[in-house]
């Protein structure tokens, strides 16, 4: 009788041991999956950009609207307020966050602007008034007032817009598109409106 009870208990322990092994194996697989998931999860950094009230999120190769707007405003502020004294600082600040082709364009343009400022003994000032983002084109538009100041004189201000496309590469912003023009931001609606006006003008001229 005792031998029979012992055998039953032993078999029961073996069954329990098998069950525990299965459970342990299952938990090990779950933990392994969780570890792989954590390692492969893209990190997200949350920032509050200086000068903007909205939150900005950045991951390895993408960023939120707020983050791109903050960098667009930063770049426009630097480029719009170049003087012979701060030109080297501005170039060094922006050269690491632009593509090679824009870097060449930027250096040439800044050098040309500096030469003009020195010859005419004036300084350029840009005051940001509006920063906007267009999801359709992934572009940032920084519009503001621009004026030239000379010795004892100041020109009338004019509207000016900086247009950027900012990519994210390994958490760092990279300007892949840069344009500067007078007037309001050339968002898709404005471009279509201007194109329609131009087409209407051509049609009227051809109809004469």
**Do residues 166 and 72 touch, judged by C-beta distance below 8 A?**
yes
Q: What is the pLDDT of residue 38?
A: 46
Q: Of 16-25, 57-66, 199-208, which gets the smallest average pLDDT?
A: 16-25
Q: Is residue 14 part of a domain?
A: no
Task: Count the domains in the chain.
Answer: 1
pLDDT bracket for residue 46 (50, 70, 90):
very low
Strand-pair partners of 20: none
**pLDDT for residue 51 is more than 60:** no
Q: Is residue 205 part of a domain?
A: no
**Do residues 186 and 193 touch, judged by C-beta distance below 8 A?**
no
Domain around 186 = 64-197
pLDDT tens for each residue of 106-135: 888 888 888 887 787 778 899 999 999 999
Q: Is residue 170 part of a domain?
A: yes
Q: State the Cα–Cα distance between residues 58 and 80, nearest whole angstrom.
A: 26
Please provide the size of the chain in residues: 208
Q: Is residue 12 part of a domain?
A: no
Domain CATH for 146? 3.10.450.230
Q: State the Cα–Cα distance between residues 125 and 17, nearest whole angstrom.
A: 79
Q: Is residue 208 part of a domain?
A: no
Higher pLDDT, 155 or 163: 163
170 closest CA partner among 36, 63, 78, 33: 63
Q: Is residue 204 part of a domain?
A: no
Three-class secondary structure assignment of 27-75: HHHHHHHHHHHHHHCCCCEEECCCCCCCCEEECCCCECHHHHHHHHHHH
Sequence-ordered list of residues with C-beta below 8 angstroms from that of 137, at least 6 positions apart, any chain? 165, 187, 188
Q: Is residue 48 part of a domain?
A: no
pLDDT tens for each residue of 62-119: 888 888 999 999 999 999 998 888 888 888 888 888 999 999 988 888 888 888 877 8
**pLDDT for residue 143 is more than 80:** yes
> pTM of whole model > 0.75?
no
Mean per-residue pLDDT over the chain, rounded: 77
Q: Is residue 190 part of a domain?
A: yes
């Amino acid at each position: 009788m005792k031998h029979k009870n012992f055998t039953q208990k032993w078999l029961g322990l073996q069954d329990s041991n098998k069950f525990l092994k299965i459970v342990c194996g299952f938990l090990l697989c779950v933990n392994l999956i969780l570890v792989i998931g954590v390692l492969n999860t893209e990190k997200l950094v949350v920032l509050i950009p200086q000068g903007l009230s909205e939150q900005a999120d950045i991951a390895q190769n993408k960023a939120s609207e707020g983050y791109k707007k903050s960098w667009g405003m930063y770049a426009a502020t630097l480029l719009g307020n170049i003087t012979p004294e701060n030109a080297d600082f501005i170039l060094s600040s922006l050269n690491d966050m632009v593509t090679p082709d824009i870097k060449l364009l930027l250096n040439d343009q800044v050098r040309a602007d500096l030469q003009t400022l020195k010859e005419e003994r004036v300084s350029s000032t840009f005051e940001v008034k509006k920063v906007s983002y267009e999801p359709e084109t992934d572009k940032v538009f920084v519009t503001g007032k621009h004026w030239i100041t000379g010795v004892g004189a100041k020109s009338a201000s004019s509207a000016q817009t900086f247009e950027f496309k900012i990519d994210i590469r390994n958490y760092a912003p990279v300007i892949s598109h840069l344009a500067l023009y007078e007037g309001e931001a050339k968002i898709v609606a404005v471009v279509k409106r201007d194109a329609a006006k131009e087409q209407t003008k051509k049609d009227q001229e051809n109809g004469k």
